[in-house]
Structures are given as C-alpha cells and as structure tokens.
C-alpha cells in the first residue's frame, strides 16, 4: 500500500514543489533519452517521462505506480486524452496503476529505472526478490536497470528532524509546512519516519508514516546477483563521483548477466556540467 503522502490527493499535489527538479533528474533524463523503450517503476507524478516527451523522445514510455493520486498528477501533466485504459493518446505515455505484480512484461524494455529512492520501499527479502525478478523479466537482454538508494553509511535519517521545516505554496497560495521525524533504525537496516503536513485550512496536520530499507553495497549486490544482474557501473553522487563511505548515494547501473560490461558505444551519457555556484 502506498504511503499517505502519495495516496492522499491533497498531499500528492505538493510532491513536485517539495522535490524540485535537480541533478538526479538530469542524470535519469539522459538515460531515458538514450533508450528506445523505458519503464519507470514508481513513476510518481510522471515528471521524468513528461520531460523526456518534451525533449523529443519518440519511443515507448511507460510509468508504473501503486498510488492513484500520483498518477492523477501524471495524467494532468501529460494532458487528458483517450486511447483506452491507462494510455494517454496525446502524450503517448502508458500509465499503469499497481506494483510490479500488476502486469507481465516480457523483455520489452531497454531501460528500467527506479528514481526518488523508490527502491528503498522494498522492505522484505521476498518482496525485493520478486521485484527484481519482475524487472529482469521486463528488461531486454541488452538493457539496463538503474536505481539509487541512500548510502546507509551516511546516516541520512539522523537529519530528518522536526527542526528542518520546509514550506511550499499550494495552488491557492496557502503556505504548507512540512517536516520529518525519524525513529532509530529497526532490524539493522530499516528506518521508520513520519512526514507531517500542516496547512492553515486543515483542522489538524496530516501525517504520513513510511519505512525505508537501507542496504549496503554488498547486500545490494547479493540480491542483484541472485536475480541475474551484474553491476556495470556504480556512483556515489549525481556528479558520478565514486562510491565512498561518506557518499550520500549508492547509484547502481545493472545489466543482465551473460554478456560483457558496457562497451564504449553503450556507456552512459556524460554527466551534465555542474551548476555555476556564482
């Protein structure tokens, strides 16, 4: 079941404002634009696929998400159209409601991505194994699966405190205050936290509770190997720096096993230039 921050329409409409386009989005957009067919698992508001369309992507784009409220935002972004269930004719994007068990794809995609730390909501071993098996089934033999998780060594959850309040403006000009509060890690690699939304027009704040799994590189690689993947490239930040103990991210480019590592002609596109701090 999707967390309240994604399933509650009044909260889902705030997602993009709380998570503005950044270097992680540029990283994934480069990959999407270089692939003929793309499956975005946990596509959320559809921002990545929408931007790919705006940039001229002419292949197949499919967004999958278990939260109907998020897909409402995705369809609004692309523009309402006909063409049958789940298909926006004008935007040529397939929007699929559900998780990876909702639909069977057979080697149909050159690229599968999980952005926004969506991989971390796969909490149980069997749930994770099932998701990776479905992704491997959907991916072509020369395709790539790209995702990121927060590096547990960086202990990001320690900075999720009520003192770190963010403010965004809703469609009516009202200011919504948002903050997080995390609990101590559970079972070694799981962190539960709350996300609180406070709107002046609501009788009381709305609270979403979430749990994320923080796997280290060795644990990730064990699950990937078992599912028939090998790590082709790995980065520790969105500038494609190396994975170090203090790096904030574990960004993984995985390929199905049984073929060589990325050749120069199939390597990832270069990173965009860093923004000018001035």
Three-state SS string across 135-191, please? HHHHEEEEEEEEEEEECHHHCHHHHCCCCCCEEEECCCCCEEEEEEEECCCECCCEE
Q: pLDDT (tens digit, 0 to 9) for every residue of the chain, 278 residues total?
A: 678 999 999 999 999 999 999 999 999 999 999 999 999 999 999 999 999 999 999 999 999 999 999 999 999 876 633 334 444 444 479 999 999 988 899 999 999 999 999 999 999 999 999 999 999 999 999 999 999 999 999 999 999 999 999 999 998 899 999 999 998 776 679 999 999 999 999 999 999 999 999 999 999 999 999 999 999 999 999 999 999 999 999 999 999 996 433 333 334 444 443 333 33
Query: What Å distances lie between residue 36 and 110, 130, 242, CA to CA?
Result: 6, 25, 28
Helix orientation angle between 47-54 and 68-78, rounded to the nearest 10 degrees: 10
Can you tell me the distance from the alpha carbon of 222 to that of 152, in angstroms, rounded to the nearest whole number?
Answer: 16
- Three-class DSSP category at 116: coil
* Amino acid 81: pLDDT: 37
- Stated length of the chain: 278
* Amino acid 275: pLDDT: 37
* Amino acid 270: pLDDT: 45
The residue with tokens 């090998």 is 230
Closest to 48 in 3D by CA, of 100, 107, 118, 144: 118
Can you tell me the distance from the alpha carbon of 214 to that of 186, in angstroms, rounded to the nearest whole number?
Answer: 10
- Three-class DSSP category at 73: helix
Closest to 37 in 3D by CA, of 118, 156, 139: 139
Query: What Å distances lie between residue 184 and 64, 138, 159, 192, 269, CA to CA?
Result: 31, 36, 12, 8, 39
Closest to 199 in 3D by CA, of 220, 171, 227: 171
Question: If residue 118 lies in a helix (H) or strand (E), which one and from where to where?
Answer: none
The residue with tokens 């203090």 is 246
> Regarding beta strands 87-88 and 109-114, do their DSSP bridges make them parallel or antiparallel, or are they unpaired?
unpaired
* Amino acid 118: pLDDT: 97
């Amino acid at each position: 079941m999707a967390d309240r921050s994604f399933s509650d329409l009044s909260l889902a409409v705030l997602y993009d404002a709380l998570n503005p386009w950044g270097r992680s989005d540029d990283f994934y957009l480069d990959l999407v634009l270089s692939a003929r067919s793309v499956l975005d698992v946990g596509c959320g508001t559809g921002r990545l696929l929408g931007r790919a369309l705006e940039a001229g992507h002419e292949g197949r784009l499919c967004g999958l998400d278990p939260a109907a409220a998020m897909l409402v935002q995705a369809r609004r972004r692309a523009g309402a159209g006909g063409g049958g269930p789940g298909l926006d004719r004008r935007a040529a994007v397939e929007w699929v409601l559900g998780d990876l068990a909702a639909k069977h794809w057979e080697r149909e995609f050159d690229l599968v991505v999980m952005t926004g730390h969506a991989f971390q909501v796969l909490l149980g071993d069997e749930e994770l194994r099932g998701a990776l098996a479905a992704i491997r089934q959907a991916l072509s033999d020369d395709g790539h699966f790209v995702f990121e998780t927060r590096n547990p060594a960086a202990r990001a959850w320690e900075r999720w405190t009520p003192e770190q309040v963010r403010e965004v403006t809703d469609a009516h000009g009202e200011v919504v205050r948002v903050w997080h509060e995390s609990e101590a890690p559970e079972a070694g690699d799981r962190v539960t936290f709350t996300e609180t939304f406070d709107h002046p027009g609501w009788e009381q704040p709305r609270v979403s509770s979430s749990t994320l799994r923080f796997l280290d590189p060795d644990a990730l690689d064990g699950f990937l190997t078992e599912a028939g993947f090998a790590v082709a490239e790995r980065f520790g930040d969105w500038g494609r720096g190396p994975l170090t103990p203090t790096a904030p991210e574990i960004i993984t480019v995985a390929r199905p096993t049984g073929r060589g590592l990325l050749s120069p002609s199939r390597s990832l596109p270069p990173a965009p230039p860093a923004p000018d701090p001035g």
